[in-house]
Chains A and B, each alone.
Chain A
Amino acid sequence: MYEFLFQTVLNALYAASYMALVAVGLVLIFGVMGIINFAHGELYMLGAYAVVGVYADWEYPYFLAVAVGLVFTGLVGIGMERGLFRPMRDNPLGGLVVSIGFLLILQALAVLGFGVRMEFIPPPTQAVIEVFGSDGAVLPLQRLYVILATILLLAALWWFLRRTRFGWALRACAQDPEAAALQGISINQTARIAMFIGAALAGVAGALTAPLVRTYPYMGHSVIVTAFIIIIVGGVGSLEGAVVAAVLYAFVHTFVTTFYDGVIADIVGLLLMLLVLIVRPTGLFGTKERA
């Protein structure tokens, strides 16, 4: 029984990791640009397809494919900032609508390039770490990669935001764009950096989890729903809140899935979000709203 519980905890930790990566990117983009990026789940999908293309089809090493996924989705993010979100600044509804439009385009392009079928990705590693002996809990090495990469990337993001000039500029823009502009901070430059980081985090999450999940053009849908629940529960605009909410949601969802079923778990997650929206719209960690 304890092994079983521990196994579920391990599963939840893995789920929390990639959800946190996606949600933190979404929050970062919202914080700097005031736009909710509905296409964020499709950036995750792009990252997964980078692995399909580079690793599964062209047979380059797996970690090269992950790096390609990170850079590629980051660049797509920069393109989105320039082409879609910059003209829509100060127009939250417009920004949301163009991101929905872009989501449809990315999905259609994935269908065009790879077809609607589910992709087979040969597992990069079959290794399994056994905890509590041979019939105890198991942690596939691939899942450990996801957890470790998340810790590494979030630590790097924290260092970047707190310890570098770019990071300070970014936080200044999130707090008050006008005052930041008056201090000589380029809003466009900052938005570009935020969009690159936010998109790249979603892409790397997709690339890392691609061998573990079902990779198909519409995989972004459940991811964006999850990310919305997390950022609402954590507080829109709060990076710490997103991480905490990701862990909270992952545990609730994993445990309900294990003990009941997946659809009930989805319903519970959505109810959690509705509850937070009703009782405390600013979320667990939100201080002020920017929408």
Chain B
Amino acid sequence: MEDRQLITLPEKTAQRGPKISIRHLIKRFQSLVAIDDVSIDIEEGTFFAIVGPSGCGKTTLLRILGGLETRTSGEVSIGEPTPGRPQHSMIFQGDSIFPWMTVWDNAAYGLRMRKAPKTEVETSVSHWLDRTGLTRYSGLYPHQLSGGMRQRVSIARAFANDPEVLLMDEPFSALDEQNRTILQQELLRIWEVDKKTVVFITHSVDEAVTLADRIMVMTASPGRSKTIIDVTLDRPRNVLELRNDPRYGRIVYDIWGHLRDEVERARD
């Protein structure tokens, strides 16, 4: 880890293109076209949400960004990370933390896999367990936690890894509504501090409008980009107060207008 010193020297703020750039992305599973010619630019520091009916290929899109799935054709690029930092970390749908590791070891996983120095693991993990309210539970195993707590661990694991880009695949969809609201608020609170670039997949229009700066609506199979909507609500946001804001209602209504035909089509 001696070369760490060298790495921090060059200033890597020169590059000014979009953080994530997707050009004419196509993904086919045998004869099924999952993603059909999607192009997006995502600026650095943007919370970018993708909504669409189930089976529209939005999870596949995220998995391609995360390197878990290959693409059939097209270009996908995520801006070079600052040396020493990982390009992206993923927060998965459902239970993805290891049952055989304590909360602490789960949160430290990304850092340990990239062989971060011990002191960095210590400080980063304790910082993020603190920010996610998990410090008291750091020695417990996942089966001793509720579903909401487990998903907090998953969030802490991704943030502690300190990536350039966070990829979130319906992270709250398995939670009940109250827990979902609490975690959305916590995610906003955490995210609004250092505004990392986020790509957030969801099937919930409310969730997308609550969290995101920009929202891409996808069409039903094959998945295409139907429209991109800017969410001009002020930050910091309060999940409950938003519901009382007429602009919030208008944006939700607007997106539903785009989505309605797609949901109907997906049902046929």
Are A and B physically bound partners?
A: no
Residue positions of A touching B, CB distance < 8 A: none
Q: Which residues of B contact A (CB under 8 A)?
A: none
